[in-house]
Amino acid sequence: MCLNPFISRSVSSGPVTRFSGRPCRIAVIGSGPAGFYTAYRVMTKIQGAKVDMYEALPVPFGLVRFGVAPDHPEVKNCQEKFEEVAASPDFTFVGNVSVGSPSDHPDGSSISLSSILRHYNAVVFAYGASKDRTLSIPGESLKGVYSAREFVGWYNGLPEHADLAPDLTQGDEAVVVGQGNVALDVARMLLEDVDVLRKSDIASHALDTLSKSKVKRVHIIGRRGPMQAAFTIKETRELMKLSDVAFHPIDNSLIPTDPTKLPRAPRRLMEILLKGSPTSPAADNTTKSWSLDFCQTPKAFLPSSTSPSQLGATSFERTSLSAPFDPKAYALGTGITHEIPSSVAFRSIGYKSAPLHEFSDVGIPFDEARGIISNDGSGRVQHEEREPGAAMSLGSFPGLYCAGWVKRGPTGVIASTMQDAFATADAIAEDWGAKVPFLNEQTESNALGWEGVQSETGVKGASVVSWEDWRKIDSAERERGQQSGKEREKFVSTAEMLAVVR
Ligand code: FAD
Ligand code: NAP
């Protein structure tokens, strides 16, 4: 059942009258790749479409700025496309404004979702995944246990995690639980020569901490085997090539005896794992080392014997695989446990999206199990309907769409997020062309977009960051970077960012 009066009005009030010449007003919530690629495509496909993009932070680009590793500057080239989108007169950036949830910093504004729903024809949720999955095992709150998401945010200057101050000085062994590309990013940050990172846009507080790190050995631990691992070729090769960093050979029994018969991608990956690194763990020039420890599932983070609040070791149960070479194999516990000394541990088992606070009031369904907004796969937000005496069926909410990680879950690189955003934009264009109901179509004054929201909520002025304002922050960061030989020196607090604008 649809509970929201704004949504149900569009559905129930008979044939839709579109006011001729009126543009399609679209609110996009989130300025990561999903938001920008949806905006780009929809503005291309619907003539005269006007997009207002709401972003909780004063700065745009989501995980392109706060997730992608600082030593991967080429990945951030997608920002050039986003700049082009933002240059359109039909595009407005509304930064430092959180939608449907309180702002997470004191200088930010917050706008209710119902207010957005009153002023647009369509709303696209593209707000990503700002939580992470937990292991729910004992000791997860010990000092020295960090979430990879927080650590990544910290080294990338995300204001929310600027004060994380991870302690990398308690010992020389680190554990990373999970074997996705985020785990490999975390390991690379711990192992890479600080002088290489110095030239990147890494936050300066991270550079300081990493330069004092005592970590020499990193275990990246997965509950399944190499044939099931989530990390990919390029990222594995990069770790193998780190100067003076050795890879500990893997257990060959988990790799098919003749990898040449595998399809190309797993074959290349297995070859890289079998070949290992140019530096051997025993060589004189080896400064640091790492391993991929397969078939181990975490059981507990254990306190150190000298300091009960500090992590000292991580305990794992060995697993066996239902079929070692089947990419879909599952892991079974063997009951055999062991401990790995660890002064620091990172939980890297995936990000997680959450519903916006108002979803339940407004009647928007969130699939908690999958951590996504319920949708038809093309991005149309869906709900279950049951007419009296009829079977359950699925219905779409007029004008509500989703894209990116909040649509399909927290996996996929920027290229797949782009494809996914294009599919959502195509669905919007198809629905607009087919004249299916959208929001606020029957009232001429209602779909005024950001103007309407401003006059209703009074949010405006100093607290809102426009695209021009972002350009000023961008220039100031680049100037600061020049002084220290970096591409950019990011501001790591929203107060610093806003001081540039004001
Ligand atoms: P996001 O990029 O997370 O964007 C969501 C945006 O919504 C954020 O700006 C957020 O602040 C905003 N937001 C959240 N809540 C609200 C709200 N209530 N109101 C307004 N705004 C809100 N892919 C690659 O191709 N190459 C890489 O090297 C790479 N490295 C990665 C490294 C890490 C650590 C991670 C986690 C991912 C990486 N990816 C990489 C994947 C890539 O970042 C994602 O595919 C992509 O960012 C997902 O886009 P999105 O727009 O769905 O989410
Ligand atoms: P991911 O790729 O989904 O990997 C998650 C890892 O956590 C898997 O190894 C998974 O193992 C493990 N895991 C999940 N639950 C677990 C549990 N309870 N106990 C133990 N292990 C558990 O997620 P991610 O690493 O966060 O990456 C997210 C996305 O961003 C991916 O698509 C990734 O490719 C992308 N990304 C790309 C880059 C890049 O291109 N350079 C960099 C970073 C991230 P199972 O498989 O056994 O579940």
What is the per-residue DSSP string for 408-451?
H-S---HHHHHHHHHHHHHHHHHHHHTT---TT-S-TTT--THH
Q: Which residue has the higher pLDDT, 361 or 237?
A: 237
Q: Is 247 in the pocket of ligand 1 (CB under 6 A)?
A: no
On average, the pLDDT of the chain sits at 92
Residue 114 pLDDT grade (very low, low, confident, very high; cuts 50, 70, 90): very high
In a 13 Å sphere around the CA of 66, the CA atoms on its Cβ side amount to 27
* DSSP structural state of residue 374: -
pTM, two decimals, is: 0.95
**What is the C-alpha separation between 366 and 345, in angstroms, rounded?**
31
* Per-residue model confidence (pLDDT) at position 351: 97
Residue-wise pLDDT for 305-327, tens only, equals: 999 999 999 999 999 999 999 99
pLDDT, mean of residues 211-235: 98
Query: What Å distances lie between residue 271 and 57, 236, 247, 258, 274, CA to CA?
Result: 42, 11, 14, 10, 5
Q: Is 156 in the pocket of ligand 1 (CB under 6 A)?
A: no
Residue-wise pLDDT for 253-293, tens only, equals: 999 999 999 999 999 999 999 999 999 999 888 899 999 99
Helix axes 414-433, 33-45, angle to 10 degrees: 40
CA 183 to centroid of ligand 2, rounded, Å = 7
Residue 293 bridge partners (DSSP): 221
pLDDT at position 20 over 90 = no
Q: Which residue's C-alpha comes closest to atom 31 of ligand 2?
A: 411
pLDDT at position 13 over 50 = no
Query: What Å distances lie between residue 211 and 190, 316, 481, CA to CA?
Result: 10, 30, 19
Residue-wise pLDDT for 132-164, tens only, equals: 999 999 999 999 999 999 999 999 999 999 999
CA 316 to centroid of ligand 2, rounded, Å = 18
pLDDT at position 12 over 50 = no
* Per-residue model confidence (pLDDT) at position 79: 96
**What is the C-alpha separation between 3 and 365, in angstroms, rounded?**
11
Q: Which residue's C-alpha comes closest to atom 34 of ligand 1?
A: 67
* Per-residue model confidence (pLDDT) at position 463: 87
CA 291 to centroid of ligand 2, rounded, Å = 17
* Per-residue model confidence (pLDDT) at position 442: 73
**What is the C-alpha separation between 30 and 282, in angstroms, rounded?**
48
* Per-residue model confidence (pLDDT) at position 444: 60
Residue 94 bridge partners (DSSP): 54
Residue 101 pLDDT grade (very low, low, confident, very high; cuts 50, 70, 90): confident
Question: How many other C-beta atoms can be found within 10 angstroms of the C-beta atom of residue 254?
Answer: 20
Residue-wise pLDDT for 47-60, tens only, equals: 999 999 999 999 99
Q: Which residue has the higher pLDDT, 484 or 411?
A: 411
Mutate to test the pocket of ligand 1, among 53, 63, 76 (most ligand atoms within 8 A of CB): 63
Burial code of 406-428, b = ≥16 C-beta within 10 A, e = fewer?
bbbbbebebeebbebbbbbbbbb
Q: Is 182 in the pocket of ligand 2 (CB under 6 A)?
A: yes
* Per-residue model confidence (pLDDT) at position 16: 45
pLDDT, mean of residues 236-248: 97
Residue-wise pLDDT for 163-174, tens only, equals: 999 999 999 999
In a 13 Å sphere around the CA of 18, the CA atoms on its Cβ side amount to 14
Q: Which residue has the higher pLDDT, 107 or 83?
A: 83
Q: Is 224 in the pocket of ligand 2 (CB under 6 A)?
A: yes
Residue 6 pLDDT grade (very low, low, confident, very high; cuts 50, 70, 90): very low
pLDDT at position 298 over 90 = yes
Q: Which residue's C-alpha comes closest to atom 28 of ligand 2?
A: 411
Q: Is 414 in the pocket of ligand 1 (CB under 6 A)?
A: yes
pLDDT, mean of residues 62-80: 97
Q: Is 181 in the pocket of ligand 2 (CB under 6 A)?
A: yes
* Per-residue model confidence (pLDDT) at position 446: 60
* Among candidate residues 490, 474, 466, 403, the one with its CA nearest the CA of residue 97: 466
* Among candidate residues 61, 68, 70, the one with its CA nearest the CA of residue 34: 61
CA 152 to centroid of ligand 2, rounded, Å = 14
Residue-wise pLDDT for 342-387, tens only, equals: 999 999 999 999 999 999 988 899 999 999 999 999 999 998 776 7
Residue 458 pLDDT grade (very low, low, confident, very high; cuts 50, 70, 90): confident
Mutate to test the pocket of ligand 1, among 72, 93, 127, 239 (most ligand atoms within 8 A of CB): 127
